[in-house]
Amino acid sequence: MGVQVMSSPHFLVVLLAQIVIFWTKKTIMADSRTPSDMSTALLISVDQSGHGDYKKIQDAIDAVPPNHKELVYILVKPGIYKEKIVVPADKPYITLSGTQPSNTIITWHEGGSIFDSAVVTILASDFVARYLTIQNTFGRSGKAVALRVSGDRAAFYNCRILSYQDTLLDETGRHFYSNCYIEGGTDFICGDAASVFEKCHVHSTSEVGGIITAHHRSTPRENTGFTFLGCKITGSAGTTLLGRPWGAYSRVVFAFTSMSDAILPQGWDDWRDPSKQRTVYYGEYKCYGPGANRAKRVSWSRSLSTKEALQFLNKNMIGGRGWLRPAPTHFKKFYTINSEKTKENN
């Protein structure tokens, strides 16, 4: 009898309907966390002198209730903030902003694991950073991440990201970097994210054998890759390569990018695994400068045609039109958060 019920068309229809309802409810719940007003943010100030809501950046982040439903704008007053920072996954829609990167600096000194050494770790979605310097001062003796980005839909504007090895762990998700300065020597932009770097300055501090990118992408089905649009690459002459494959299907494209003589003529490396030459996707399109000369490039890199390059010349890979947002224009006092939290507790 039980077998007959389980196999009946009516039962299957009911089961399918229940599954649809379940996932619809989950989608509605997820969508309900999206702020209804994207122009107004709750304002929290951080000031080391004690004239803000908090003296430490992490304390300000900790004060934000989990799964809050409004934009939160944390304004960091000028200063050198010696602390490690984590934005947890249950705190989306946070903006962390300084006034200018030269005077608003987050710094720490730690090497070792690429996951644990990061000065700033972003696990939340819909995060924005503006006008900050994020620096790991560990030096050249090992892996030392300045910024780890592991949340989806993260954007960074006019930030400076500094270390030597694995400076930017662009781990997973869709990300956008605009007018940022990124500095390092070995694999200093690495990870498996889908990211667009627009008008960024990439500077190699390597003296020999430097590598800019180490993109992962382990299968051709992953829609990930690093795209550099209208960027600038500098460094000491003949000291660095554009990239090498952390994963077999590593994908990196440079377009309309100024390349100084820091770039070695061969351009790319297979990380001592010739089999990856058949699977990586390393492309260049209308780049210029002495480092952009492709006469001696490795044969398995690509000089892209306009048709091939088109998919990389916009933000479609990261779906940018759907989530990139301007800075808020209206602000509410931080006590609004505390008031709502108090009401819930009562």
Among 236, 234, 291, CA closest to 268 = 291
169 half-sphere exposure, CB direction, 13 A CA radius = 25
Catalytic position from the list 126, 166, 170, 269: 166
Among 329, 261, 246, 258, CA closest to 287 = 258
Coil, strand, or helix at residue 31?
Answer: helix
The token duo for 346 is 């009562």
Annotated catalytic, 59? no
Q: H-helix or E-strand containing 5?
A: helix 2-7
What's the one-letter identity of residue 231?
C
Catalytic position from the list 152, 170, 187, 269: 187
Among 220, 202, 201, 223, CA closest to 211 = 202
CB atoms within 10 A of CB 54: 20
The token duo for 57 is 């950046």
280-316 burial by CB neighbour count: b if 16+ within 10 A, else e? bbbbbbebebebbeeeebeeebbebeeeebeebbebe
Annotated catalytic, 126? no
7 half-sphere exposure, CB direction, 13 A CA radius = 4
Among 160, 155, 98, CA closest to 126 = 155
Cα–Cα distance measured from residue 182 to residue 107, given in angstroms and rounded to the nearest whole number? 15
* CB contact at 8 A, 264 and 239: yes
Cα–Cα distance measured from residue 31 to residue 24, given in angstroms and rounded to the nearest whole number? 10
| Residues classed as catalytic | 166, 187
